[in-house]
Amino acid sequence: MRIAILMTNTDDSGFAHTHPMDGEKFTTLVQMARPAWRCDVYAVKDGIFPDDIVTYDGAMITGSPTSTRSGASWVTRLLALIRQIHDRKIPLFGACFGHQAIALALGGRVDNLPGGWVHGRTENHLVARPEWAAELPEVVSIYGSHVEYVRELPKEADPLMTRDGHNTGFTLGSHIATSQHHPEMTHAFISALTEELRQDMGPEVYARAQESLKQKVDQPALAEAIARFFEAARAA
């Protein structure tokens, strides 16, 4: 398969450049499960979009420190592309910002997360089990870092995962799946990011994050589930 990775991460700091960029992280995630698949990265945050998204077997939208509600011109253009992808039923997976952007583009609502910042290893309860998610555990562990969330799903969407009563993933038809959290992040990266954001997140969030990182996440199982999602969506 050919997957278009729509890279939304606007972090251009020295920290960002000492680690793999999001396009590489998502390519690694895809090829962890399907080594032969090709991923093409488009820096949509710089206004670089695919010439024709229909030439791809699917698309993925990455995370970003930018808010989906920012009104930035590239965000507005991305929301329009999401609606085009949905109308044509092209398989689409979104993580964090991508999850929120898909919801917002299709009629959902995004808001500030009650209780503030979530960072580190998160435990998400699987509330639905599509066939492609058959091998995921009942509680899915994923690294996360966010201060906004999907408050209201699009009308036709179905919840996939929840955490503390909040939605952390949804599906829409057979062609859209999302995760509020970051299946592409490695332990090395989230550990470094935790130190980078230590002052911003405050001592309590930092301490919780550090403690959470002592346990593993379900990255290989998530990589396989995402690959199966694309395969099932293309076959539908």
Give pLDDT, residue 97: 98
**DSSP β-ladder status, 2-6 and 58-61:** parallel
CA distance 183 to 180: 9
Residues 77, 75: Cα–Cα separation, whole Å: 5
Q: What is the pLDDT of residue 2?
A: 98
Residue 179 has what pLDDT? 98
* Contact predicate 177/160, CB 8 Å: yes
Q: Which amino acid is at 194?
A: T
Three-state DSSP state, 212: helix
Evaluate whether 39 touches 26 at the Cβ level (below 8 Å): yes
pLDDT average per 10 residues of sequence, the chain (236 residues): 98 96 98 98 98 98 97 98 98 98 98 94 98 97 97 97 97 98 98 96 95 98 98 96
| Model pLDDT, residue 133 | 98
What DSSP letter does each residue of 47-92 carry, written as one string? T---S-GGGSSEEEE---SS-TTS--HHHHHHHHHHHHHHHTT--E
CATH of 2-235, one of 3.40.630.30, 3.40.50.300, 3.90.700.10, 3.40.50.880: 3.40.50.880
Q: Where are the domains of the chain?
A: 2-235
Which pLDDT score is estimated for 28? 98
Supply the pLDDT for residue 98: 98
Instruction: Report pLDDT for 82.
Output: 98
The whole-number pLDDT of residue 139 equals: 98
pLDDT value of residue 67: 97
pLDDT at 223: 98
Q: Where are the alpha helices (DSSP H) in the chain?
A: 14-17, 22-33, 73-87, 97-105, 187-196, 198-212, 219-235
